[in-house]
Amino acid sequence: MTRGALAAAVLLIAPLAADAQSYRCVGKDGKRYYGQIVPQECMGLPVEQLNAQGMVIGRIDPEGSEKERLAKEAAEVKKRQNDAAARETARRNRALLATYSSERDIDEARARALAANNKQVREAEERLEAVRKRQSGFQKELEFYSGKNKPPAKLLDDIKNVELDLKLQEGAVDAKKREVEGINAKYDEDRRRYRELNNPKADAERPSEDVKKRAAKSAESTKASSSGSR
């Protein structure tokens, strides 16, 4: 090879050598490992990227990358949840405005719901009273056998069944009475949201004293219906 050809070859190889990179890490055994590609012993460990002169020009941190990936995924999940919550809130607001044209509509809907509940309470109390009368009849019949013959098996079964029915009906009455609080809470929230949507600067909360008065009125109504059924 002539001197000119050799010089040309050197000029071609020099840029490739200058661009050459390698990788280095400290393995789990404490030894250093090098390679033109990431050595197998470096997998999952921090790796330094070296240039042709052996200077560090970059670092690869698998653990850091994994943390970033997990953080990014968590942020995406949170964003999807927030977006879904925002869509649901918007849907509920549209439904609220489509249902009511004024706060008076909300109060009237509350009154209808409370009236329906009072009716259901009265019906449940009537069923309860009927069960109590049946129970009283069975107890009188049982007294007839006191000190005499053994009561018939059917009578004993009837007494057991009426006791179970009594507990069931008592639970139904209590559940219906407890619904009053939930009804008032629902329409309180509807009123607050309606007022907020129509006038965001207004105080959305109803005065606590009004709430107490309404709750007391509902309790008195329920109590009156209970007394009347008896």
Quick one: tokens of 89?
């809130």
The pairing of strands 22-26 and 47-50 is antiparallel
> What residues form DSSP beta bridges with 26?
32
C-alpha dihedral (141, 145, 146, 148), degrees to nearest 10: 170
Q: Which residue has the tokens 């509920």?
A: 92
Identify which of 3-7, 37-41, 129-133, 140-144 has the greatest average pLDDT: 129-133
The pLDDT value given to residue 227: 52
The pLDDT value given to residue 223: 56
Element (H, E) at 57: strand 56-60
Q: Give tens-digit pLDDT for 4-16.
A: 433 333 333 334 3
Could you tell me the pLDDT band of residue 125, with boundaries at 50, 70 and 90? Answer: very high
Could you tell me the pLDDT band of residue 210, with boundaries at 50, 70 and 90? Answer: low
Rounded (10°) angle between helices 62-99 and 153-198: 90
Could you tell me the pLDDT band of residue 145, with boundaries at 50, 70 and 90? Answer: confident
CB 19 within 8 A of CB 52: yes
- Residue 126 predicted with pLDDT over 90: yes
Could you tell me the pLDDT band of residue 217, with boundaries at 50, 70 and 90? Answer: low
Give the percent of the chain with pLDDT over 90. Answer: 52
| CB contact set of 219 (below 8 Å; sequence gap of 6+) | 180
- Residue 161 predicted with pLDDT over 90: yes
Length of the chain: 230
